[in-house]
Amino acid sequence: MDREELLSRMSYDVKGYVDNVMDMYNAPFARQMGIEIVSVSNDEVVCEMELRPVQMNSMGRGHGGAIFALVDHTFAIHCNIMHPCTGQNTTINFYRPAQGRLRAISHPINRSRSLEVYEVRVLSEEGKLVASAVNTAFVLK
């Protein structure tokens, strides 16, 4: 994705931070995992990832680590839009096996000068809840 395409997926309230989001999009691990940005706003970030054979567990389902990678990167984009942050803690719950295309949706729970907390939900192609997480980031000064 180039800068212009990314801008088309960003809401007006965050377009001024396109370079920050572009850097997050181009992170080598995210590119290797196949994580794509669907939309970005101050109140919601949506990313998707098609599970590939290399991301499956021994039972042929999406590996928890791959699902966590989607959660973590969606959260990372959200908390790093306007200022640099680093992940501090994540609690994740898995509800059902995953296959195919997954969608992660991040919403802020609380933002303060030093900590930001987000909820990320991962949905299957059918819209069923695959996993949910609460993620905390430390705001870097």
Domain count, the chain: 1
CATH of the domain at 40: 3.10.129.10
Percentage with pLDDT > 90 across the chain: 99
pLDDT digits over 44-97, tens only?
999 999 999 999 999 999 999 999 999 999 999 999 999 999 999 999 999 999
pLDDT of 141 reads 80
Structure tokens at 67: 């699902």
Report residue 106 CA to chain centroid gap: 7
pLDDT score at 40? 98
* Alpha carbon separation from 16 to 42, 69, 89 (Å, rounded): 12, 26, 28
> Domain residues for 67?
3-139
